[in-house]
Amino acid sequence: MIDLDIQKSHVIHQWKADSPLIACRISPRGDQCVSAAQDSTLQRWNIPGGEKVVLKGHESWAHALTYNTTGDLLISGGCEGRLIWWSIADAEPKAIRTIDAHQGWIRGVERSPDGQTLVSVGNDRTIRLWKTDSGEKLAEWSAHDRHIYSAAFHPDGVHLLTGDLMGKIHVWKLADRTLVRTLDGSTLYGPNPGQAAEFGGVRSLAISPNGTEVFAAGTHKGSNPFGAVHEPLLLRFQWTDGALTKSHVCDGIPGGLLFRACSLNDATVVSVSGGSTGGILLFFNATQEKEVHRAMLPNIARDMDFHAATGLVASAHHDSHLRISGLFA
Amino acid sequence: MKIAKYACGSMDHIVNRRRFLSGVAGSVATTGAVVGGLGTLTQGIAAAEIQRRDMRVVVFNMHGGLSQLESWDPKPLTRTGGPFRAIPTSVPGIHISELLPMTAKQMHHLCLLRGVNTSEDDHGKGAYMMLTGRRQTPSAEFPQIGSVAAKMLHDDQTGLPGHIVVTPGGGGGRGNEAAYLGPKFSSIQLGGDKPPQNSNKPDAVSDEAEKRRHEIRRKINEQFLNQRRSAITDAYTHSYEQALKLMERREVFDVSKEPDSAKQRYGSSDLGRQCLMARRLLENGVSFVQVTHSNYDTHNDNFNFHIEQVGEFDQAFATFIDDLAQRGMLEKTLVVVLSEFGRTPNINLYYGRDHWSKAWSIAMAGAGVQHGAAFGKTNEEGTEVIDGQCDHGDIFHTILRAVGVDSSQSLIVDGREVPIADPAAEPIWKVLA
């Protein structure tokens, strides 16, 4: 495991795709990264060489990406409602399974801590569980009143969290799919009556490796959502009772939205802000409300992933670049 | 019917319906006369006039600028297409955005205009152009389509206003859209699905007291008008009498009188209730209703906003069209879905689309327009019109023609001929049935 030094974060590589990027994930071994683009294709990039292979199969944008534990399979979820399993480690990756999984957008696909189970969520307000290897559907249940924006398995392997447009974060017991509690992330929902606009949502959920804290990322203070005037917000909850312990805010980012948050360790979270202010990596810890460090990226970012073993952060950008940053000297 | 003699020496700006129908030669005393029509009334024209008075117009104003790519002219799997797919409709060969699944089933009633180019990216100016059919100039003010429709189509005997605008919030007053047609043809504005403000008689006032109050008012009014009559005083008088009639017909505005099944079909959204209200108004004789759906000005997060907004529109609008068709009202009701402009094919840095007036779409249905048709075409990425280009002026003409109004005619206003629609434009004949 590499020693992280967030103050030294810097862009190491940048590789250009043919279309603006919308999502990215680093493989479990840290030897490749997959991105998704506005032209509905996926790209596999080798790290560190940057060799690119383009994957075609979706009929729409794929916001949701996850690898299996070994990194042999990539599962992507598209706005057309399809889950596609890719033989991502092959020289020429193929779509080996396609399932019409949801009505409308899939917004999140995550794997369980043991890697055996996948969860997919989306605009049909339904949670679906799948066997990672076979694609067999294990369960589905209607779960939210509004679009489900994000999901995350708790490291205990017993619980699943899902977050929606309204900022509701439901905690489910996987065994019987009962609702254990709902965390109040409503500050991430920013209706703007003047613009008759519903805006915000739990854009990303993350949980600390030791399972004691839950993080919900998004935006608040949407004084002009149509004009991209809204500020980043990261909520920190205590796992044991669901209490909100901190609302992490940032100064000087009038057009920001946190698209994703990842735990670096048990105390620190990295998040990526996109929006009209630009692309920024923001680092938050448990002791202070505002970020402890920010690192500007060369262009507006739309997604991010963190790889703990290598200390690498991948970010997907509007200028069609995938950028790999190192959180070390 | 007395012929107006105004103290200022000017004459009535209003075409009198009874005189129009009967063909009485008194029409020559009316400055709002329609050139080429009134002076030569025949029984045939009178029949056409009667038919025209049955026609209605509904405008859905998609405030802020509906994206054509997320509605009527999708470009899936192109650089500009965004994440939504195109779906087939009830008309083979015509596809629209997957955000409109219920509307797709009503496509056989609709006529899409996919070649709109208005070359105006400013909200206010664009809205003015689409609602008046003209570019805004400092030298002249033109009436909006609602006022023109009220003047040309409305039957005062209904006891209801001819021009109603349903706004998402507020409302209760009168609009100022009539320009030279005079305040009589300005809109009554309703706040959402609520009846006009102050339209119920206070409980403390008895029917008898109310009657006496108005008798006194009318008497004093008449005395005043004998000496000082003007278009303004006529408008005041008309407003009072219209308000009284409207109070008698207040139940027309009460959507709660609709069966639960109807409310369910239209949906629980504000727009659903407003559409139900619009249908009630139309079937009770209101000639023009404008329903505003807000807001589509999505420079940021265009796709999430359009999921919400277009999804809400889809159920309410599709049900509205189906309801009119089933009730036999669609043949005499022109429905127009317009905005001030469309949105850029280019997707900006924050998943937004900006203002775009060079190649966008509107939809029409009913009355005298083709049904199950798509007119005009944009290029592969939706950046340019490549066939069937039209603009606000052409659309204004087409709306009038579709409800039987000769859009080439003029009104005489203060001794001047004012073309009812921009003479530089003309109806889109291919769109008219």
- Higher pLDDT: B239 or B331? It is B331
Q: How far is the alpha carbon of A268 from chain B, nearest alpha carbon, in Å?
A: 27
Residues of B with CB below 8 A from A300's CB?
349-350
In this prediction, residue B415 has a pLDDT band, given cuts at 50, 70 and 90, of confident
Q: For a pLDDT cut of 90, what percent of chain B falls above it?
A: 64
Which residue among B84, B168, B301 places its CB closest to the CB of A225? B301
Give the DSSP per-residue string, B362-377: EEEESTTB-SSEEE-E
pLDDT of residue B389: 98
Pairing of strands A117-122, A126-131: antiparallel
For residue B49, the SS3 value is helix
For the record, the structure tokens of B24 come out as 């009485």
Residues of A with CB below 8 A from B310's CB?
none
pLDDT of residue A267: 85
Residues of A with CB below 8 A from B301's CB?
199, 225, 228
Residue A115 CA to residue A137 CA, distance in Å, equals 15
Averaged pLDDT, B235-258:
83
Q: Flag whether pLDDT at B18 surpasses 50.
A: no
State pLDDT tens for residues B56-97.
999 999 999 999 999 999 999 999 999 999 999 999 999 999
Residue A295 CA to residue A279 CA, distance in Å, equals 9
In this prediction, residue B49 has a pLDDT band, given cuts at 50, 70 and 90, of low
Given a contact cutoff of 8 angstroms between Cβ atoms, the answer to whether B322 and B106 are in contact is: yes
Tell me the average pLDDT of chain B.
Answer: 87
Which residues contact residue B230 at a Cβ distance below 8 angstroms, ignoring those fewer than 6 apart? B6, B7, B8, B10
Could you give the angle at the alpha carbon of A110 between the alpha carbons of A109 and A112, nearest 5°? 145
Residue B53 CA to residue B288 CA, distance in Å, equals 11
Residues of A with CB below 8 A from B85's CB?
59-60, 80
Return the percent helix, strand and coil in chain B, to nearest 5. 40, 20, 45
Least confident of A30-39, B105-114, B204-213, B373-382: B204-213
For residue A115, the SS3 value is coil
Q: For a pLDDT cut of 70, what percent of chain B falls above it?
A: 87
Residue A304 CA to residue A259 CA, distance in Å, equals 8
- The sign of the dihedral angle between the CA atoms of A182, A183, A188, A190 is positive
Residues of B with CB below 8 A from A79's CB?
83-84
Q: Is A250 exposed, middle or buried (0-12, 13-18, 19+ CB in 10 A)?
A: buried
Residue B377 CA to residue B384 CA, distance in Å, equals 9
In this prediction, residue B6 has a pLDDT band, given cuts at 50, 70 and 90, of very low
State pLDDT tens for residues B129-140.
999 999 999 988
Mutation target vs B (from A195, A297, A302; most B CBs, 10 A cutoff): A195
Question: In terms of Cα–Cα distance, which of A261, A177, A256, A259 is closest to A223?
Answer: A256
Q: Flag whether pLDDT at B32 surpasses 60.
A: no
Give pLDDT tens digits along chain A (329 positions).
Answer: 789 999 999 999 999 999 999 999 999 999 999 999 999 999 999 999 999 999 999 999 999 999 999 999 999 999 999 999 999 999 999 999 999 999 999 999 999 999 999 999 999 999 999 999 999 999 999 989 999 999 999 999 999 999 999 999 999 999 999 999 999 999 999 888 888 788 999 999 999 999 999 999 999 999 899 999 999 999 999 999 999 999 999 999 999 999 999 999 888 999 999 988 899 999 999 999 999 999 999 999 999 999 999 999 999 999 999 999 999 99
pLDDT of residue B244: 82
For residue B150, the SS3 value is helix
Give the DSSP per-residue string, B339-351: -S-EE-SS--TTS
- The sign of the dihedral angle between the CA atoms of B193, B196, B198, B202 is negative
Direct distance between the N- and C-terminal alpha carbons of chain B, in angstroms, rounded to an integer? 38
Closest residue in A to B76 (Cα–Cα) = A60
Give the DSSP H or E segment for B101.
helix B101-104
Pairing of strands B110-116, B373-375: parallel
Spell out which chain A residues touch chain B, with contact meaning CB-CB distance below 8 angstroms: 19-20, 38-40, 59-61, 79-80, 104-105, 123, 147, 193, 195-199, 201, 225-228, 255, 257, 274-276, 300, 302, 318
Question: In terms of Cα–Cα distance, which of A322, A189, A213 is closest to A262?
Answer: A213
State pLDDT tens for residues A191-244.
888 887 889 999 999 999 999 999 999 999 998 999 999 999 999 999 999 999
Closest residue in B to A259 (Cα–Cα) = B350
Q: How far is the alpha carbon of B350 from chain A, nearest alpha carbon, in Å?
A: 5
Residue B79 CA to residue B267 CA, distance in Å, equals 34
With tokens 């205990």, the residue in question is: A156
DSSP secondary structure letter of residue A3: P
Residue ranges of domains in chain A, CATH in brackets: 6-326 (2.130.10.10)
For the record, the structure tokens of B225 come out as 């008008």
Q: How far is the alpha carbon of A228 from chain B, nearest alpha carbon, in Å?
A: 5
Which residue among B76, B347, B350 places its CB closest to the CB of A38? B347
pLDDT of residue B4: 43
Which residues contact residue A49 at a Cβ distance below 8 angstroms, ignoring those fewer than 6 apart? none
Neighbours of A326 (CB within 10 A): 18
Q: How far is the alpha carbon of A287 from chain B, nearest alpha carbon, in Å?
A: 31
Residue B153 CA to residue B53 CA, distance in Å, equals 5
Neighbours of A202 (CB within 10 A): 28
Helix axes B392-402, B123-132, angle to 10 degrees: 30
For residue B324, the SS3 value is helix
Taking one residue from A and the other from B, the number of pairs with CB-CB distance under 8 angstroms is 69
pLDDT of residue B342: 98
Given a contact cutoff of 8 angstroms between Cβ atoms, the answer to whether A107 and A60 are in contact is: no
Residues of A with CB below 8 A from B304's CB?
199, 201
State pLDDT tens for residues B288-320.
999 999 899 999 999 999 999 999 999 999 999
Which residue among A147, A226, A255 places its CB closest to the CB of B297? A226
Residue ranges of domains in chain B, CATH in brackets: 55-195+257-404 (3.40.720.10), 198-253 (no CATH)
For the record, the structure tokens of B14 come out as 């209003």
Averaged pLDDT, B353-370:
98
Residues of B with CB below 8 A from A257's CB?
350
For residue A289, the SS3 value is coil
Q: Flag whether pLDDT at B164 surpasses 80.
A: yes
pTM of the predicted protein model:
0.90
